[in-house]
Amino acid sequence: MRWQAFECTGPRLAGGSRVSPGTPISLEYRHGCIHARFDVSLDLFCALRAARFDSQLAASSAASLARLLATVFAGSGPPSMNILVTGCAGFIGMHTCERLLARGDQVTGIDNLNDYYDPALKQARLARLTADPAFRFERMDIAEPDALNRLFARHPQQRVIHLAAQAGVRYSLKNPQAYVASNLTAFVNVLEACRHQGVEHLVYASSSSVYGHNADLPFRVEQDVDHPVSLYAATKKSNELMAHCYSHLFRLPTTGLRFFTVYGPWGRPDMAYWLFTRAILEGRPIDVFNQGRMRRDFTYIDDIVEGVVRVLDQIAVPEPGYDRHHPTPAASDAPYRLYNIGNSQPVELLDFIGAIEDALGRKAVRNLLPMQAGDVEATYADVSALERAVGFSPVTPIEVGVGQFVDWYREWTSR
């Protein structure tokens, strides 16, 4: 906790003492060499408490004050933690770091800033994070042996969110070795570092791609996922298996999150929604695979981050009464969990394109093509396990999320 109400000119606040709404309260902020003091009235104090984690406050001109005040006043959130986020300059990584910083955590972010897509976008994301004194950045490749152990020796971490990976189904057909290094070797290094450093909870990104050509919709975490159709999906399934080994052998609490088609501001340029938006604005045709006969469970970035943070705060534990005679992939007698995070409302691809057209005020010229290798016709998340565990499921409508992305994209490309 970085803010504290340490003095007031009227009756003291401790012990639930009665004070009038206009009572002036002095608030102090200390972090390293930074020391600031503010005087606010009790009614403003209470209003800020009531508005904690409000995204409108976080976007206001008083963001620095509001977000810090909002996380510390008597029971307004969990104690500040030291949290490591891998892939911090990535799409989900940046948003996750911002959320953790907003609630008062100390965040160490690592990223190798590779050139899979424009590094300038990664640098711009990173610049948003490094402006916060509670954020520390370390550039490193976690596929390198002992890199994480050296980091942990300098900066011990309580919990880890592992988002670094080589993304992309189609790129795995061109450069499989990148997936072996980034998604397999690196993940073993993460597990080893967490094991030896006594990390309280490892939360890592899996993917809806693990469901492959499974036709039993919606996809449930209890289903078998033994038939991936891309190397990318196979590496993500492997991560889940390796995590279970470490949960079983070393009692390392791990939780895997199967993300479903994440979109939103600051997204990846190789994703379809970005490619569609760019092509439409430039007056070029868009490539629509499988003649547009595809459905995706598009999930807005804010919903993904909400799920990640809630899961991080709930350390994985063994399933009570786990029955080895009737095992489920989603739980174990080890501290191990798996959850889907998806909007649970699959959208036809042509309808999604329509939402982009509406937000842009322009129509697309559609180039209808056959299905691509490694792709699947439909994704649809059953999020009931996530709802039971943390009381949350994604809620953002496509029209709202697409509008937010288009607004950001216009701003980004006009800079």
The pLDDT tens digits of the residues spanning 395-404 come to 999 999 999 9
Instruction: List the structure tokens of 173.
Output: 């057909």
> Residue 251: how many CA atoms within 13 Å on its side-chain side?
1
Question: pLDDT per residue over 123-144, tens digit each?
Answer: 999 999 999 999 999 999 999 9
d(CA 219, CA 258): 10
Quick one: average pLDDT of 142-166?
96
- Percent of the chain with pLDDT strictly greater than 90: 70
Question: pLDDT per residue over 194-224, tens digit each?
Answer: 999 999 999 999 999 999 988 888 999 999 9
Query: Above 80 in pLDDT, residue 75?
Result: no
User: What is the model's pLDDT at position 214?
Assistant: 87
Per-chain mean pLDDT for the chain: 84
Query: Above 90 in pLDDT, residue 342?
Result: yes
Quick one: average pLDDT of 5-13?
34
Q: For tokens 């152990």, what's the residue? A: 149
Question: pLDDT per residue over 105-120, tens digit each?
Answer: 999 999 999 999 999 9
d(CA 395, CA 387): 12
Query: Above 90 in pLDDT, residue 69?
Result: no
d(CA 200, CA 202): 7
Identified catalytic residue from 232, 336, 339, 409: 232
User: What is the model's pLDDT at position 292?
Assistant: 82
Cα–Cα distance list, 115 to 40, 143, 263 (Å): 47, 16, 20
Q: Which of 148, 166, 329, 132 has its CA nearest to residue 236?
A: 166
User: What is the model's pLDDT at position 294?
Assistant: 86
Q: Verify whether residue 29 is a known catalytic residue.
A: no
Most confident region among 62-71, 82-91, 318-327, 360-369 by mean pLDDT: 82-91
Model confidence at 78, pLDDT cuts 50, 70, 90, reads: low
Query: Above 60 in pLDDT, residue 168?
Result: yes
Quick one: average pLDDT of 237-248?
98
pTM score > 0.85 for this model? no
User: What is the model's pLDDT at position 74?
Assistant: 38
With b for 16 or more beta-carbon neighbours within 10 A and e for fewer, the 347-358 pattern comes to bebbebbbbbbe
Question: pLDDT per residue over 24-64, tens digit each?
Answer: 545 544 433 333 444 555 445 445 444 433 333 333 333 34
User: What is the model's pLDDT at position 136?
Assistant: 98
Instruction: List the structure tokens of 192.
Output: 């080893």
With b for 16 or more beta-carbon neighbours within 10 A and e for fewer, the 121-137 pattern comes to bbeebbebbeebebbbb
User: What is the model's pLDDT at position 41?
Assistant: 53
User: What is the model's pLDDT at position 353?
Assistant: 95
What sign for the dihedral angle of Cα 399, 400, 401, 402?
A: positive
